[in-house]
Chain A
Amino acid sequence: EAGVTQFPSHSVIEKGQTVTLRCDPISGHDNLYWYRRVMGKEIKFLLHFVKESKQDESGMPNNRFLAERTGGTYSTLKVQPAELEDSGVYFCASSGTRGYEQFFGPGTRLTVL
């Protein structure tokens, strides 16, 4: 069974540009989560989807971040326009009915120059 996959693995962009990160959860998992780790700090929760609905987006830093999950399958996280402080590793996780059993992807390392 395929795990959680994320694309791209790395992205380097200029300040002010737009970047879109993609996450494909484990097949059949209704719950999808985004987390972010800024260098040297803790991994922080961004938001939680149940199918295509946003269940909790309390961790989204500001309105430059837009997450979608059309059709309840894969999810995208768009940053527009990117700022220097957006640099970090963005993790996606998915779970089935038990939300505490989250499976994480390898992360996307975003560098904003």
Chain B
Amino acid sequence: RKEVEQDPGPFNVPEGATVAFNCTYSNSASQSFFWYRQDCRKEPKLLMSVYSSGNEDGRFTAQLNRASQYISLLIRDSKLSDSATYLCAVHQAGTALIFGKGTTLSVSS
């Protein structure tokens, strides 16, 4: 079993749609959780940290479920500019981030 798993997609949605991605992790000792956005042939950019209480940043909401070992990202009112690959990352004891393979989102007009 992979340490961090994501549905690769692609998720094809129209503008204005709400879309949700899930990410599961295998190590229950994982301590910190993040969502990154990566555009084609560009570096990952930190989108959000994910907290147990859930957190929201504009149209983006991230949640953590420690009992079931998954994190989620919800995007409301999708824009064309949201088209990208979304990577979840898990920080275990130590320092390295463990990334999933990413979920591809394509928003069309």
Q: Do A and B bind each other?
A: no
